[in-house]
Copies of this chain bind each other. A is one copy, B any other.
Amino acid sequence: MSTTAPRSTASPSQEDRLWTVEEHLEDILSTVRPLEPIELQLLDAQGCVLVEDVTVPVSLPPFDNSSMDGYAVRVADVTGASGEFPAVLEVVGDVAAGQAPGLKVGPGQAARIMTGAPLPPGAEAVVPVEWTDGGLGGGPATGMKARSKAPEGASGQVRVYQGAEAGAHVRRAGSDMKAGDRALAAGTVLGPAQLALLASVGRATAKVRPRPRVVVLSTGSELVPPGEPLKPGQIHDSNSFALTAAAREAGAIAYRVGAVADDAETLRTSVDDQLVRADLLVTSGGVSVGAYDVVKEALTAPEPARLEAGDGEEGDGEHGGAEPAAAGVDFRRVAMQPGKPQGFGLIGPDHTPVLTLPGNPVSSFVSFEIFVRPVIRALMGLPEDQLHRPRARAALDAGKALSSPRGRRQFLRGRLDGDRVTPVGGASSHLVGALAQANALIVVPEDVTSLEPGDDVEVVLLG
């Protein structure tokens, strides 16, 4: 081929540089910082990362209490008791959960006690009601009658058929956690059990990193909301739905703005309007090499001429700071398929991170999984090993060999079943029908150009 042939001789200028997937991801993750912690009500903190060690202020349980419904007794009074020779004790009253015990258990006495109620002074153990006649005198009991219907159960006599050691059926104060113990360590993700623990130690709120607010904006003059009729040349916007749902699934609070037409001023206005509620902005479309690539046009660092033209409002934040990273979005080519055109930068007065994804539905979906999901989880303060989807190995279940472009990491959509994965829908990036059948991405490394049926491949597990 002649030296004027275009494809392999382009000079390696910054614009022409081909970034690896890792380089692009590393650039993003080394720039993005976890969100500042705030104090949230427990149920608002579900799924969030705790940023403080929480210590136990008061031992748990705070007092000796009964683990059974039964009778609080003195050990000596029931020692040797049996079905044939029961111990007969005077019932001096009830101790219900939530009551400070107002009675004492003396020799020959018992207090009827409920699960969770404080062990009254004098008592040393609890015998379950099933070891007694329940005060009814009719042999073994299966339970107590409701106090509201049979108040006489709190007095009279009880026969105890079995002895108990000191501390039997008693939860000792501090047996769960002791005052000063560390209940939870900073960095813990708050699930149901951790929230239970915080509530148990009296905490109504927790200091956590909040869920990131992610604004999702698709671009394209061809996009029409679903539910509205299509004119010639139009298609329905699907990316804004997919990306919003995916952002939520990753842990974010996501706002779908919908589709913006391919006009740079309109897009700039939308972005400026939305930044106030965004910890992260995600766009799709308009980032390739066309003449109508509106995201590229609107979010590339503005040139001085533009600033002089009077639209300094957006520029203020971008140029006021000393950080060069705040100067706008850097548009790149990443060595992957789909998803080559990518962009990342910080914009606006708060240096809000922006990821600009390509517009093909499959490209934007894959780009989200590989780049946006880790950002959302980094903003949440999750540790490195929880940023990414889990991966696994599987055998390729395909009818014929698959080809993959050299020098590009390919992410094929696959259906994983056990340890076998079947490609669905081929390599084209517009095949949303097949995407909906996939539960995994098949990763074909940059140096692999062909895969044979049965080959061992890496897969990314999608939810």
Task: Enumerate chain A interface residues (CB-CB to B < 8 A).
Answer: 1-7, 9-10, 15-16, 42-43, 46, 56, 58, 60-63, 67, 69, 82-84, 94, 96-101, 112, 114-118, 129-132, 139-150, 153-154, 161-162, 171, 175-177, 181, 183-184, 188, 191-205, 220-223, 225-228, 230-239, 241-246, 248-249, 256, 261-262, 264, 288-293, 296-297, 359-361, 365, 428-436, 438, 462-463
Contacts and interface: CB of A to CB of B under 8 A. Distances in A.
Given A114-B291, A115-B288, A204-B225, 19 more contacts: A4-B84, A5-B140, A6-B132, A7-B162, A96-B292, A99-B233, A101-B233, A114-B290, A115-B290, A142-B289, A175-B428, A192-B242, A192-B249, A194-B436, A196-B432, A196-B435, A198-B241, A200-B433, A204-B226
Contacts of A60: 235, 432-433
B291 A232 contact: no
List 7 tightest A-B contacts by C-beta distance, closest first.
A6-B140, A204-B227, A143-B289, A98-B221, A98-B222, A5-B83, A69-B290
Contact of A144 (B15, B188, B289): B289
Contact of A201 (B154, B181, B183, B236): B236
A222 B258 CA distance: 50
A203 to B, nearest CB: 6
A426 to B, nearest CB: 10
A359 B114 CA distance: 12
Contacts of A99: 221-222, 233
A179 to B, nearest CB: 12
B61 A430 contact: yes
Nearest to A288: B69
A70 B67 CA distance: 76
Contacts of A244: 43
Given A176-B430, A248-B46, A256-B43, A118 B232 contact: yes
B241 A146 contact: no
B183 A433 contact: yes
B82 A2 contact: yes
Contacts of A118: 232-233
A247 B19 CA distance: 43
A235 B116 contact: yes
Contacts of A463: 191
Nearest to A190: B245
Nearest to A200: B238
A241 B196 contact: yes
A236 B297 contact: no
Contacts of A67: 428-430
Given A82-B1, A197-B436, A98 B46 contact: no
* Most chain B CB atoms below 10 A, which of A145, A197, A359: A197
